């Protein structure tokens, strides 16, 4: 097995400087070093390569044939590194590359169409999106951005940006209300079918409502229990009964006539929405572009 002759980049840079200036003294001045250090760096490189790179006289420093061969390769290598540095610098300033985003299922489907505009604005972005209601490990699973609804645990390894606040409201389909009658008070909810969400903890999620000046919880007897946020919306649209969902999720369906907003005066403040980003060096331009887009989109979808 032949011995490796890899040379430190610093020594290669010194060699190129000497070759370009034709002088150890001028190379040292250009590099902010001493003539002695420059000479020692070239000597170490020649020893490592097992050949002489320069012919030295009292009047001139000239490349040997091996030196000319090595200079061409060294310049190509340094040019490649400079190009890579420029590309990385451009990537930091211009959003480019893959961004992995984890979104809650129902909420994510609300945001998914908006990514068309994001891609039109930043065509060098590639998006990898997961829609799931399970809790993800932002760091362990390699996500760039994880969007979560609700209060978040304190974690020093994460940075969090609040995207918006939500409100909770009661909704049902026009077809259901035509069959079962309109709802004009909270008391009438007891006479109607309820579609209820089962949270990640396994508990049925009570409805939080405003009753005059008081906030209280209702525990309806469900005709359908679902553990998927999007399925909850779809069940309400299909006419299963009344459900409580987030205003941003319900809004496009209300506007399209698929859902009716019941008892708006009973709406309550819902959970906040946060974007979770793994801590590290300065946030990449691609990640910042996605987070800013999510915040802007949610501001525009306010009811």
**Among 40, 74, 93, residue at a domain's last position:** 93
Q: Give the CATH number for residue 53.
A: 1.10.10.10
| Burial call 95-113: b when 16+ CB within 10 Å, e when fewer | bbeebbbbbbbbbbbbbee
Structure tokens at 207: 């409805």
Q: Provide, rounded to the nearest whole percent, the portion of the chain with pLDDT above 70.
A: 88
Sign of CA pseudo-dihedral 242, 248, 253, 255? positive
Structure tokens at 20: 């370009």
Q: Quick check: is 3 in a domain? A: no
pLDDT in tens, 224-270: 999 888 899 999 999 999 999 999 889 999 999 999 999 999 999 98
Bridge partners (DSSP) listed for residue 214: 211
Q: Give the CATH number for residue 151.
A: 3.40.190.10
pLDDT of residue 3: 41
What's the rounded Cα separation, in Å, for the pair 249 and 112?
A: 12
Do 161 and 276 share a domain, yes or no? Answer: yes
- Predicted confidence (pLDDT) at residue 284 exceeds the cutoff of 90: no
Q: Quick check: is 4 in a domain? A: no
Q: Quick check: is 2 in a domain? A: no
Q: What is the dihedral of CA 284, 285, 287, 290, to 10 degrees?
A: 170
**Among 93, 128, 150, residue at a domain's last position:** 93
Q: Quick check: is 1 in a domain? A: no
Do 47 and 111 share a domain, yes or no? Answer: no
The answer to whether 299 touches 273, Cβ cutoff 8 Å, is no
The CA-based angle 123-127-133, given to 5 degrees, is 150
Local structure of residue 191 (DSSP, 8 states)? G
Residue whose structure tokens are 């060096």: 281
Do 179 and 252 share a domain, yes or no? Answer: yes
- Predicted confidence (pLDDT) at residue 136 exceeds the cutoff of 70: no
Neighbours of 70 (CB within 10 A): 22
In which domain, by residue range, is 284 found? 97-165+272-300
Q: Provide, rounded to the nearest whole percent, the portion of the chain with pLDDT above 90.
A: 51
Q: Give the CATH number for residue 239.
A: 3.40.190.290
- Pairing verdict, β 145-149 and 260-262: unpaired
Q: Which whole number is the average pLDDT over 154-161?
A: 70
Strand ranges (E), the chain: 54-56, 61-63, 97-103, 125-131, 145-149, 158-172, 194-197, 207-211, 214-218, 222-226, 243-246, 260-262, 268-278
What is the average pLDDT value for the chain, to the nearest integer? Answer: 86
Instruction: Provide the number of structural domains found in the chain.
Output: 3
Q: Quick check: is 68 in a domain? A: yes
pLDDT in tens, 167-212: 999 999 999 999 999 999 999 999 999 999 998 788 999 999 999 9
Residue whose structure tokens are 């979808």: 301
Do 231 and 252 share a domain, yes or no? Answer: yes
Residue whose structure tokens are 């309550």: 268
Do 84 and 19 share a domain, yes or no? Answer: yes
Do 180 and 240 share a domain, yes or no? Answer: yes
Range list of H helices, 153-265: 174-180, 229-238, 247-255
Q: Quick check: is 150 in a domain? A: yes
Do 138 and 113 share a domain, yes or no? Answer: yes
Do 75 and 224 share a domain, yes or no? Answer: no
Structure tokens at 11: 């020594």
The answer to whether 255 touches 303, Cβ cutoff 8 Å, is no
pLDDT of residue 89: 65
């Amino acid at each position: 097995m032949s011995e490796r002759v890899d040379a430190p980049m610093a020594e290669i840079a010194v060699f190129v400087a000497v070759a370009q200036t034709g002088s150890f003294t001028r190379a040292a001045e250009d590099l902010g070093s001493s003539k002695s250090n420059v000479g020692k760096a070239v000597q170490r490189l020649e020893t490592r390569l097992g050949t002489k790179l320069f012919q030295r006289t009292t009047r001139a420093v000239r490349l040997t044939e091996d030196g000319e061969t090595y200079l061409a390769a060294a310049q190509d290598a340094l040019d490649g590194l400079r190009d890579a540095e420029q590309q990385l610098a451009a990537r930091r300033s211009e959003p480019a590359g893959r961004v992995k985003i984890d979104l809650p299922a129902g909420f994510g489907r609300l945001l998914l169409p908006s990514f068309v505009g994001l891609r039109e604005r930043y065509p060098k972005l590639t998006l990898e999106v997961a829609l799931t209601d399970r809790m993800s490990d932002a760091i362990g699973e390699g996500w760039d951005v994880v969007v979560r609804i609700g209060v978040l645990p304190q974690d020093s390894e994460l940075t969090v940006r609040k995207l918006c606040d939500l409100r909770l409201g009661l909704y049902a389909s026009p077809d259901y209300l035509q069959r079962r009658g309109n709802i004009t008070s909270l008391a009438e909810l007891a006479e109607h079918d309820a579609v209820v969400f089962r949270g990640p903890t396994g508990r049925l999620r009570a409805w939080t409502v405003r009753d005059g000046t008081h906030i209280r919880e209702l525990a309806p007897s469900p005709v359908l229990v679902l553990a998927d946020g999007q399925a909850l919306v779809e069940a309400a649209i299909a006419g299963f009964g009344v459900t409580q969902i987030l205003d941003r999720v319900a809004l496009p369906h209300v506007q399209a006539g698929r859902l009716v907003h019941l008892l708006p005066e009973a709406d309550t403040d819902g959970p906040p929405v946060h974007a979770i980003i793994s801590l590290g060096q300065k946030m990449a331009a691609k990640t910042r572009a996605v987070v800013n887009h999510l915040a802007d989109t949610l501001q525009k979808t306010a009811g």
